Amino acid sequence: MIWLILAASFILRLIAINQSLWLDEAIGAMAARDFSFFGILNNFPKFDNHPPIYYLLLKGETSLFGFSEISLRFPSIIFGVATVYFTYITARHFVGKKEKFFPNFCALLLATSPLHIYYSQEARMYAMAAFLAVVAVYSFLKEKWILFSFSLAVLVFSDYVPVFLLPVFWIIGFIDRKPKQWWGKLLLSHIPLMILGLFWLPIFLAQSQAGKWLLSTLPAWKNVAGGATFKQAVLVWMKFVLGRISLMDKTLYYALVAFFSIPFIVVLVRAWNKRQKVLSIWLYLMIPLILGFLTSIIFPAFIYFRFLYVLPAFYILAGWGISQYGKKIGRVLLLGVLGANLVGWLIYVKNPYQQR
């Protein structure tokens, strides 16, 4: 079943892939075209507010396959499909290999998620960050420390916002009362990230100063970058439920969100009531969102697409909630969540207004 789900996720991410590039995608393409690998590490970051790993990957990929829309977006498609697979094996960690339904539920929900499909089709670093985040969580739960250390370092140097995931691993250690030997391995796994961080610190400080200058010069930029507002918090839920769509008829849009929120609320409440086994996944979902929101009181960065990396947790918990019901009710709830995904995806692919 998982291979059928992965095949379907790949096909869904190919549909409507040849949209035109929007501003940020074009900037990344120009960076890959005009800067050398060293220039992407040393010069380009002075004019950007992201770390360099994704641009280095884009530079290598476009050197081989060119600069068409499909070529530029293909890495995100691969990261998107790989995220579905790692969501599956992360979910399987909690129930073992004999239990098939729950891990498949989680993979199927993420595979059909309209929000995840959208950003798996974008030549930006968000699909890559989502993949690396779930790899980090999986390798942490399995105590595969080398993979954990590698994925952690690459994650933070792909996008800054996933740094809010780091406290999750330490909190889980405190809750589970891990032994001293375990804490030593956790600390060692952070050393590559800390060393790279020291080398990168001067450029990061320069980027921070540029960001402060932009906010002081253009105060309205805060509305674009996101901030600690009620609207941005609500948008996280709305976009997670129905994808990156927005209708001109706001009454219809809000009605759709309200209607399709019902199965999500039901399964997530159930997952919370049965949270003991999947508490680590609740932390994976909530801690980055809370820390990101609080940080955005000072420096605006809280906007839903920057937290795509917690979407696997959202669907693992949804799958967990579904699996805690009997077959009949669970089947109805699964169809309800899949219905939300299908409606959001159809609006996206059928309406050019929703596309880039």
pLDDT, one tens digit for every residue, the chain (356 residues): 999 999 999 999 999 999 999 999 999 999 999 999 999 999 999 888 899 999 999 999 999 999 999 999 999 999 999 999 999 999 999 997 777 789 999 999 999 999 999 999 999 999 999 999 999 999 999 999 999 999 999 999 999 999 999 999 999 999 999 999 999 999 999 999 999 999 999 999 888 887 777 777 777 766 676 778 899 999 999 999 999 999 999 999 999 999 999 999 999 999 999 999 999 999 999 999 999 999 988 888 899 999 999 999 999 999 999 999 988 999 999 999 999 999 999 999 999 999 99
> CB under 8 Å to 8, separation ≥6 — which residues?
111, 112
DSSP class of 107: H
Asked if residues 346 and 331 have their Cβ atoms less than 8 Å apart, the reply is: no
Q: In angstroms, what CA-CA distances link 56 with 45, 50, 187, 255, 306?
A: 12, 12, 28, 43, 20
- The Cα–Cα gap between 83 and 138 comes to 11
Structural domain boundaries in the chain: 2-354
Q: 104: helix, coil or strand?
A: helix
First-to-last CA distance in the chain?
Answer: 33
The phi-psi region of residue 260 (left if phi > 0; otherwise alpha if psi is between -120 and 50; otherwise beta) is alpha
CA dist 81 → 6, 12, 74, 116, 207 (Å): 6, 10, 11, 10, 32
Write the DSSP assignment of 250-266 as a string of letters. Answer: HHHHHHHHHHHHHHHHH
For 155, phi then psi, to 5°, come to -60, -55
DSSP 309: G
Q: How far apart, in whole angstroms, are the C-alpha atoms of residue 188 and residue 170?
A: 13
Tokens found for residue 246 = 């927005």
Q: Helix 166-176 vs helix 180-189: angle between axes, to the nearest 10 degrees?
A: 180
Do residues 107 and 137 touch, judged by C-beta distance below 8 A?
Answer: no
Helix, strand, or coil (residue 355): coil
Q: Is 59 helix (H, G, I), strand (E, B) or coil?
A: helix
Instruction: Determine the Cα–Cα distance for residues 293 and 256; give it in Å rounded to an integer.
Output: 26
